[in-house]
Amino acid sequence: MKTTALCLLLATVALGAETPAADCCKEKPAAKQDACCAEKAAPKPDACCAAMETATFSKDSIYQSDVTFTDDTGRAVALGSLRGRPVMLDMFFASCGYACPLTVTDMLAIQERLPAEQRSQAVFVLVSFDTVRDTTEVLAKYRAQRGLDGQWIILRGDDDAVRELAALLGVKYKQEADGMFSHSNVVTILNREGEIVHQRQGLKGGLDEAVAALAGLAAAK
Amino acid sequence: MTISSLLRLGALALGLVAGAVPAAAQPAARMVLIPAGTYAPLLRTTKDAAQVPVAAFLLDELPVTNADFLAFVTANPKWRRSQVSGLFADSSYLEHWTGDLEPGAKAPPGAPVVRVSWFAARAYARWAGKRLPTTAEWELAAGAGYTQADGRTDEALKRDLYAWLARPVPAVQADAATARRNFHGARGLHGLVWEWVDDFNTAMVTGESRGDTGLERDLFCGAGAVGAKDTTDYAAFMRGALRSSLQAKNTTTALGFRCAKNLP
């Protein structure tokens, strides 16, 4: 019954009103908490709880949000786990035929243009709008098709998580009747703390500014 | 007993414990059943469906009040005015309250809470074991008249609605319970405050053309022709315009919310 005890212990911690560590569980209804422990519990608390236990994020950090995602290998990723590295983040969907492929091409160009040392620090994150069709497998295939290396993190999440991240980034999106998504074209650069330092709006231009912003962050340790 | 069944037991216990505490601290809000129906978006692109089916769901009878919200901030210190992160609420969050835990004279206990952000409304809903309604759900519920399911031909409702739109926002909001019940039993969907919906940030095609959300194809993927279905529904235009103008951290003097829930 060890695991049960662990979950109960977590529950106790989570319910302590003054325990910032447990923010990720505190406000969530029972169903969420089930998922929290049931899915990934085994030897240790799940990623979202673990990240929150150790982290106090700055007041402008989007990592204060407790949403979690899953990457294209099926691993749970808390937003806060990106802390410590400069991040370039784009919301996309794999079956997008117009804007998303262009944006990914631009991000690849930006990655290429960064000086080697700074390139090794930056992380490129894609988060899908498509909670249904963009499964782990589809995202893994997307990675292969676009030749995205280990510095790219490709994420999917539930409606709740995707909507919250979009709100944090100021991205508007909407699923059309044909299943495709209309969405803002915004690429966001986050500093090591998860604070938004630059946003590239639209599809044209802005590459120099994005490279400069990202390189600046990577250089400043 | 397998590991996974142990895990489930643990999770169940966790759920029970977790469920019990908020329930004790939280005011019981009465919910009404909104039967399944269809929502016809007022503004839509050429790709949007003309009719969006909406499953039956439960909706709070009243908007969340100051008393309700006080219980929430009492239980969740990080949502108190002095402690909330600027990322999740702008500087006028609960500005009309006297203090962190004192709503005061400008925020009577029974009046709808206003000056709350989408993040705060969502956090409240989660805490209450509920969620925010979607645009389609909210509009379906609010589309009812006082005495009939279709409010479009309810002259009394239309009169009250437009009279409300013409009135300036009062310094102190009225008690929510004074609002007249609609056909489904929900009160104050019109005539009290504007209300957040979960997917407010889908309202982009009606948005202004500044920033990235205009209709220019480069700025906004999938921008299509926008067409209004019923140009007489002025109030729906206003709701659409409001939603598209908002950011998730914004708070205003007349914007509150209520919660929804799936049917068990």
pLDDT per position as a tens digit, A118-146 = 889 999 999 999 999 999 999 999 999 99
% residues pLDDT > 70 (chain A): 75
Distance from CA of B217 to the nearest CA of A (A): 9
For residue A101, pLDDT beyond 60 = yes
d(CA A158, CA A160): 5
Say yes or no for a CB contact (<8 Å) between A29 and B19: yes
d(CA B212, CA A102): 16
A171: which chain B residues are within 8 Å (Cβ-Cβ)?
201
A41: which chain B residues are within 8 Å (Cβ-Cβ)?
7, 10-11
Looking at the DSSP assignment, which residues form a beta bridge with residue B31? B60
The beta-carbon neighbor of A185 closest among B3, B16, B212 is B212
Per-residue pLDDT of B153-162, as tens digits, reads 888 888 888 8
A203: which chain B residues are within 8 Å (Cβ-Cβ)?
218-219
For residue A72, pLDDT beyond 50 = yes
Say yes or no for a CB contact (<8 Å) between A7 and B207: no
Q: What is the pLDDT of residue A81?
A: 94
What tokens were used for A109? 């160009």
Say yes or no for a CB contact (<8 Å) between A17 and B75: yes
d(CA A148, CA A142): 8
**DSSP state letters, B207-224:** S-SSTT-SS-TTTEET--
Q: What is the pLDDT of residue B48?
A: 67
The beta-carbon neighbor of B87 closest among A62, A177, A182 is A62
- Mean pLDDT for all residues in chain B: 81
Strands (E), B114-232: 194-195, 220-221, 226-228
What is the Cα Rg of chain B in Å? 20
User: Is the whole model's pTM more than 0.90, yes or no?
Assistant: no
Per-residue pLDDT of A19-29, as tens digits, reads 333 444 444 44
Helix (H) or strand (E) holding B44: strand B43-45
Give the pLDDT band of residue A201 (cuts 50, 70, 90): confident
Give the pLDDT band of residue A108 (cuts 50, 70, 90): very high
Q: What is the pLDDT of residue B200?
A: 87
Inter-chain contacts counted by CB atoms under 8 A, chains A and B: 171
Q: What is the pLDDT of residue B44?
A: 62
For residue A48, pLDDT beyond 90 = no
Optimal mutation site among B220, B243, B245, B261, interface A, most CBs of chain A within 10 A:
B220
A65 to chain B: closest CA residue: B88
Q: What is the pLDDT of residue B159?
A: 86
d(CA A156, CA A81): 15
Q: What is the pLDDT of residue B6?
A: 45
d(CA B247, CA B22): 28
Q: What is the pLDDT of residue B43?
A: 64
- Tell how many helices (H) and how many strands (E) occur in chain A: 9, 9
B128 to chain A: closest CA residue: A29
Helix axes B3-25, A30-38, angle to 10 degrees: 150
The parts of chain B modelled with pLDDT lower than 70 are 1-27, 42-48, 203-233
**Mode of pairing for the β-strands spanning A87-92 and A186-190:** antiparallel
Q: Is A94 helix (H, G, I), strand (E, B) or coil?
A: coil
User: Nearest-5° angle of CA A203, CA A204, CA A207?
Assistant: 100
Per-residue pLDDT of B87-104, as tens digits, reads 999 999 999 999 999 999
| Check: complex ipTM more than 0.90 | no
Listed residue (A186, A185, A135) closest to A156, CA to CA: A135
